[in-house]
Structure 1
Amino acid sequence: MKRGTSARKRQLRGNQDPRIRVSDDYAYTYGGDAAEMAGAYGLTPDPWQQTVLDDWLAYDDDGTYAHDTCGLAVPRQNGKNGTLEVRELYGAAVEGEKILHTAHEVKTARKAFLRLCSFFENESEYPELAEIVKAIRKTNGQEAIELTNGGSIEFSARSKGAARGFTVDVVVCDEAQELTDDQLEALMPTSSAGPLQNSQLILLGTPPGPTTNGDVFPRTRRNALSSEHGGTNWIEWSVDEIGDVSDESRWEETNPALGYRLTRKAVEKELKTMSPDGFARERLGWWASDMANGCFDPSEWDALKVDFTDEEIAEQASWKRAYGVKFSADGKRAAIAIAIWKRGATPHVEVLEHGSTENGIQWAEDWLTPRCGKVSTTVIDGKANALDLYNRLLAGGVVKRALDPAKPETVTAASSMFLNAVTEGSMTHIGQPALDDAVKAAEKREIGKGGGFGFQSGNETDITPLEAACLALWGVRTTKRDPSRKAVVG
């Protein structure tokens, strides 16, 4: 069957101006110098890339970078890595910087290495670059370009310990949406004593998806967008809502390379094959929420709020109960929560106590000692104070089988159970401010290497109420202990 001829479509042209640009005032920039140098080697920046380079290579009067942290979020296939190539060429070849280029996957880091090698190894076309090469290492996992001026570019896939032993001036994190706190903690000391004493962290990526465990990129974005972003540069092409994903004008607004290197046909294919959420995130730069990594949708959480009648409260008196006790990582705060549930009903969680432990944990001991034995289980977690509380409760007469010291696998199971319950709408709460704030500030934190996670605060909010509620929910759903059942001695 012969298809009819379609009407000619208008030419699409990507917007060169970002929707969001956070940049400090600066004295001068070498962005133009970098563009001129790279242009001689066939890397002429687009206008949007020049904007990015100007901010990345901006200096204060004291000769240090105006932005010690730079974040770039732009949809895929628009030229992030081309911008980075200009930055790395200029930094290493002209400024003599030692640069560590990291990526989430080995193949991505390797691809970036081979691309830059094509400039330094091409003696016939780029003799000036070839002349300053001291050595090029091509051993898999140890790729590096070393220059005679002291500059270098080393390449590495990220892991918790992959950056040990490096000393550099600039750390680059490609695929930054996958960057975890553990990985960042391994990377940051590499530039603390950089030879030039002028360090910079560059993050490039896209909005994180629902299965992404990265914490750093979204938090950097949120910090930059706050009123006190000091020294952080953030540039972003995005939409603020999913909206009409088939609207071509929105494609243009969020893809600066559209009509230049990115074709309409490629975007149309993505539109046909992706979900609206996926297309909005990957092609329109949509951040699913302002949460660090989309842990909880505030509207989903708010929808679980209930007001019980007196009759419902009376009926719930016979439900199974469990306490969750969580101490903060620094040991300065704690929360006690309760979860109630019976088979066939919807579990309910509330925060019962929440306070400081600066003056000790006596208040928690006093509250729990007469109550623990009357509920099915009490799950206790926290590197600081948890073991002390556990021992105090045992000494106070609480039976051992009524207490459950949490293990890492308990925390990961409890966290995923709670997140699923919120997403599925299979839990209720009463809208307590401390718990509301904790849920809405929560980020994921990676636990172990098997995809497990817990929660951490994306700002200064105390999230122990959330963590205690997770433990309580897990406890009430998994314990088999019935405190009303008397043991039978045979």
Structure 2
Amino acid sequence: MSSRRTARRGSQEPRVRLEPKRKYTDGGDAAELASAYGLSPDPWQEAVLDAWLGRDAADRYTATTCGLSVPRQNGKNGILEMRELYGMCANGEKILHTAHEVKTARKAFIRLCSFFDNARQYPELAAMVVQIRRTNGQEAIVLANGGSIEFSARSRGTARGFTVDVVVFDEAQELTDEQLEAMLPTLSAAPSGNRQFIYTGTPPGPNSPGEVFGRTRKAAIEGSDKRLAWHEWSVESIGDVADRDRWYATNPAMGIRISEEFTESELTSMSEDGFARERLGWWSSASANAVIGAAEWGALATDAPPSGGKRAFGVKFSPDGANMALSVALKPRDGTPYVELIEHRSMRDGVTWIADWLIERKADTAAVVVDGRSQADTLVTLLREGGMPKKAVVVAGTGGAIASSSRFLNAVREKKISHYGQPALDESVTSATKRPIGREGGWGWGGDDSTPVESATLAYWGVMTTKRNPGRKVRLL
């Protein structure tokens, strides 16, 4: 009996696994073909291929949408190459491979092209080639059996003129709804009649849109899409990022292509949440359930906020009374209403300073909308004692929270609101979730820290609904 220890390897089983039922699969054939050309799949890659290439009794793919979320450098590129190689060569599929950046799409082309332009090493693949197009931004491989693959960086016009069977979204955490909508027509007349979308990526970070990838994951977690295959290596919470057991649980290539030494260097150079996201596959609740995407909100930013118009303030206290947020909204006579975050801080200094600050501006203020049981009554009392007109002070309550949230979301969707692009407000808006409130199916904002977006929502609702108008041109603050 050998005394040698078996090297430790990362888990080949994902934490989240959703696979449509299948009658049979081409996964084994794809793995065998890839192995013949030096792409030997890991066990986890074989399992994912089985799901992606599963077929029903009518010989159609059981998974029309496929999603893979696994930390970087574990083999996402490899499994895409295996899927694309098999699709082109064995099935004659027409494939569109898209990436967030030109250089990423270019690298994918170069890797796959190496199998087809090496007649000495792979003569049978080289013999299938009709054309290899190397023009930057228009790379493509066309085969004699009708199969082909084209590579492109994503933009509004990326899919124009394409008609394909399979669309691959590499770096799916960067994919926006607008880009997806531009891609949908490419599959409307799929030549094979067997369509498939493939999303691969990592959990979206604070600066990634994550709209489509997060929504796809949400459907997988809820089990609401019966034609969706989803595989995810991840942790449920940030937890102890130095725990090596968690490294192996979330990185199937750990001990194969990823070393503990390399991971240690990552740990020392990243923040805890960054390491958890990039190396442990952690999805924050905000990433998975966000209502307003970063790209959607970012498109509403302005460098020239209005300087005059009707003004209202929104004050939101957190449920535990630990912090607060104060925002202002301005409705100009002509132009788009505007919101800005003024303060977001703890309540260690009490509530009097807020009242004093607002009272100083009472002559030019149309409304102050307040919400939050912990301190709302105290602030309202101080405002009225300080001479703020009674009709100018509004306590939102449940009804106001529901009405203001819906109105704010509609304004974003319809592009009828603007903001300055403040990081604290941006983060709060793009991480906000819908929180059920009331008994009639209403909702308000939720999330890790929704007080900034809630204060902006209250201010916007106040300025759009109040009948008061001090009747003079006012400055923003």
Alpha-carbon distance change, 31 to 431 in structure 1, aligned in 2, over 3 angstroms: closer
Number of the residue aligned with 1:100? 96
Q: CA deviation at 1:166?
A: 0.5
Q: How does 1:330-345 map to 2 (within 5 A)?
A: none
**CA–CA distance in 2 between the matches of 1:289 and 1:269?**
27
SS at match of 1:187: helix
2:25 aligned with 1:14: no
Deviations 1:402-460 (A, max 9, x none): xxxx965x345599775556899xxxx99767898342499xxxxxxxxxxxx9xxxxx
Q: How does 1:215-254 map to 2 (within 5 A)?
A: 215-254=211-250
Unaligned runs of 5+ residues in structure 1 are 1-8, 324-337, 341-347, 356-377, 385-405, 443-454, 456-465
TM-score, structure 2 normalization: 0.71
Q: 1:473 aligns with which of 459, 463, 466?
A: 459
Report % sequence identity.
49
Number of the residue aligned with 1:437? 443
SS at match of 1:439: strand
Number of the residue aligned with 2:283? 287
Alpha-carbon distance change, 287 to 407 in structure 1, aligned in 2, over 3 angstroms: closer
Q: 1:306 aligns with which of 373, 376, 380?
A: 373
Alpha-carbon distance change, 307 to 74 in structure 1, aligned in 2, over 3 angstroms: same
Say how many residue pairs are matched. 385
Number of the residue aligned with 2:400? 352
Q: 1:275 aligns with which of 271, 275, 282?
A: 271
Alpha-carbon distance change, 129 to 320 in structure 1, aligned in 2, over 3 angstroms: farther
**CA–CA distance in 2 between the matches of 1:295 and 1:383?**
11
**CA–CA distance in 1 between the matches of 2:246 and 2:409?**
49
Unaligned runs of 5+ residues in structure 2 are 293-316, 322-371
2:151 aligned with 1:145: no
Q: How does 1:355-366 map to 2 (within 5 A)?
A: none
Q: How does 1:14-413 map to 2 (within 5 A)?
A: 14-289=10-285, 291-292=287-288, 302-303=319-320, 305-308=372-375, 310-317=377-384, 351-352=399-400, 408=416, 410-413=417-420
**CA–CA distance in 1 between the matches of 2:85 and 2:267?**
35
**CA–CA distance in 2 between the matches of 1:10 and 1:261?**
16
**CA–CA distance in 1 between the matches of 2:232 and 2:78?**
16
Q: CA deviation at 1:316?
A: 3.5
Give, as a single letter, the amino acid of the residue that structure 2 aligns with 1:81. N
Contact 2:95 2:150 in 1 (8 A): yes
Alpha-carbon distance change, 349 to 477 in structure 1, aligned in 2, over 3 angstroms: farther
Give, as a single letter, the amino acid of the residue that structure 1 aligns with 2:382. E
Give, as a single letter, the amino acid of the residue that structure 1 aligns with 2:98. T
**CA–CA distance in 1 between the matches of 2:408 and 2:143?**
57
Q: CA deviation at 1:254?
A: 0.3
**CA–CA distance in 1 between the matches of 2:192 and 2:102?**
28
Deviations 1:174-205 (A, max 9, x none): 00000000000011110111100110000000
Alpha-carbon distance change, 221 to 383 in structure 1, aligned in 2, over 3 angstroms: closer
Contact 1:237 1:253 in 2 (8 A): yes
Q: CA deviation at 1:349?
A: 8.4
Q: CA deviation at 1:468?
A: 9.4
**CA–CA distance in 2 between the matches of 1:135 and 1:163?**
20
Contact 1:240 1:287 in 2 (8 A): yes
Give, as a single letter, the amino acid of the residue that structure 2 aligns with 1:39. S
Number of the residue aligned with 1:393? none
SS at match of 1:120: coil
Give, as a single letter, the amino acid of the residue that structure 2 aligns with 1:166. F
Deviations 1:372-392 (A, max 9, x none): xxxxxx9996599xxxxxxxx
Alpha-carbon distance change, 116 to 309 in structure 1, aligned in 2, over 3 angstroms: closer
Contact 1:251 1:284 in 2 (8 A): yes
**CA–CA distance in 1 between the matches of 2:271 and 2:263?**
13
Alpha-carbon distance change, 238 to 315 in structure 1, aligned in 2, over 3 angstroms: same
SS at match of 1:279: helix
**CA–CA distance in 2 between the matches of 1:52 and 1:75?**
15
Alpha-carbon distance change, 422 to 68 in structure 1, aligned in 2, over 3 angstroms: closer
Contact 1:295 1:419 in 2 (8 A): no
**CA–CA distance in 2 between the matches of 1:170 and 1:473?**
46
Alpha-carbon distance change, 238 to 36 in structure 1, aligned in 2, over 3 angstroms: same
Alpha-carbon distance change, 420 to 228 in structure 1, aligned in 2, over 3 angstroms: closer
Alpha-carbon distance change, 413 to 149 in structure 1, aligned in 2, over 3 angstroms: same
SS at match of 2:285: coil
Contact 2:204 2:287 in 1 (8 A): no
Alpha-carbon distance change, 381 to 17 in structure 1, aligned in 2, over 3 angstroms: closer
Q: Quick check: 258-267 or 231-240, which moved more?
A: 258-267
Q: CA deviation at 1:286?
A: 0.4
Alpha-carbon distance change, 142 to 16 in structure 1, aligned in 2, over 3 angstroms: same
Number of the residue aligned with 2:469? 483
Alpha-carbon distance change, 349 to 301 in structure 1, aligned in 2, over 3 angstroms: same
Contact 1:307 1:430 in 2 (8 A): no
Alpha-carbon distance change, 261 to 321 in structure 1, aligned in 2, over 3 angstroms: farther
Contact 1:214 1:293 in 2 (8 A): no
**CA–CA distance in 1 between the matches of 2:436 and 2:421?**
20
Q: CA deviation at 1:222?
A: 0.5
SS at match of 2:200: strand
TM-score, structure 1 normalization: 0.69
**CA–CA distance in 2 between the matches of 1:261 and 1:268?**
14
**CA–CA distance in 2 between the matches of 1:351 and 1:418?**
23
Contact 1:72 1:234 in 2 (8 A): yes
SS at match of 2:288: coil
**CA–CA distance in 2 between the matches of 1:414 and 1:106?**
27
Alpha-carbon distance change, 322 to 416 in structure 1, aligned in 2, over 3 angstroms: farther
Give, as a single letter, the amino acid of the residue that structure 2 aligns with 1:66. T
Number of the residue aligned with 2:347? none
Give, as a single letter, the amino acid of the residue that structure 1 aligns with 2:400. L
